[in-house]
């Protein structure tokens, strides 16, 4: 990852002043639980990042829907935040999705090639059926339909459309009942417990 160096030109003294760069940025990963908003404030009293992360003056890199779980990155490095969230950089995001039904080859191929959402086709995705992963118990239990089996897929996308993975699986007839993000670029959730955070070194992307 490369940052463009920026500065200001002082016409009076005819020199270029480089910006003062902060070296000790903070980076942390957080395993967001179900129902938690990916922000630090909420006037309605809903659970937010503030209930779990006491570190001040850091900001989430992107968002994760309240009904989704898993990896979030937070930092006070504004340029890193902007670079990672810039859609032009197409950084991969990997999710574990529990879906209703058993995916067939046709449905998997549709997800891989991209599906139409609001008139636009999603970028090709990496998709694979996986065994049920060992995850933490969700705060709010999932309501299963006795007559409908569920299965798990791992899906990697390179876009950040609103509720994209849920909308993709629904579009091919596989409604998503649980969604957990496990990776952003080469930054992994690993074994971090739900509701916990951990400081990391500056990621090299």
Tokens of 103: 């995916």
As a whole number of angstroms, the distance between CA 71 and CA 14 comes to 47
- Rounded CA-CA distance 89/3 in Å is 13
Contact yes or no for 20/33 (Cβ under 8 A): no
Question: Count of residues for the chain?
Answer: 205
Query: Is the Cβ–Cβ distance between 134 and 82 less than 8 Å?
Result: no
Whether residue 71 contacts residue 95, with contact meaning beta carbons closer than 8 Å, is answered with no
Distance CA 82, CA 51 (A): 25
Kindly report the number of other CB atoms within 10 A of residue 45's CB atom.
Answer: 6
Q: Establish whether 67 is a catalytic residue.
A: no
The single residue of 24, 51, 65, 105 carrying the catalytic annotation is 65
Burial 125-159, CB ≥16 within 10 A → b, else e: bebeeeeeeeeeeeeeeeeeeeeeebbbbbbbbeb
Q: Which residues are catalytic?
A: 65
């Amino acid at each position: 990852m490369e940052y463009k160096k920026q500065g200001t030109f002082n016409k009076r003294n005819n020199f270029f002043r480089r910006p003062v760069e902060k070296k000790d940025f903070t980076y942390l990963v957080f395993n967001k639980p179900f129902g938690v908003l990916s922000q630090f404030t909420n006037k309605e009293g809903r659970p937010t990042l503030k209930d779990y992360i006491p570190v001040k003056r850091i900001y989430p890199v992107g968002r994760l829907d309240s009904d989704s779980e898993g990896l979030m990155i937070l930092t006070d490095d504004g340029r890193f935040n902007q670079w990672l969230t810039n859609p032009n950089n197409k950084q991969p995001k990997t999710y574990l999705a529990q879906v209703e039904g058993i995916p067939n080859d046709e449905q998997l191929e549709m997800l891989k090639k991209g599906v139409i959402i609001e008139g636009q086709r999603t970028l090709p995705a990496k998709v694979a059926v996986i065994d049920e992963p060992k995850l933490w118990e969700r705060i709010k239990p999932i309501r299963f339909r006795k007559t409908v089996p569920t299965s798990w897929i791992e899906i990697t996308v390179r876009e950040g459309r609103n509720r994209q993975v849920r909308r993709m699986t629904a579009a091919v007839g596989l409604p998503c009942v649980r969604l957990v993000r496990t990776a952003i670029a080469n930054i992994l959730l690993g074994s971090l417990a739900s509701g916990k955070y951990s400081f990391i070194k500056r990621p090299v992307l």
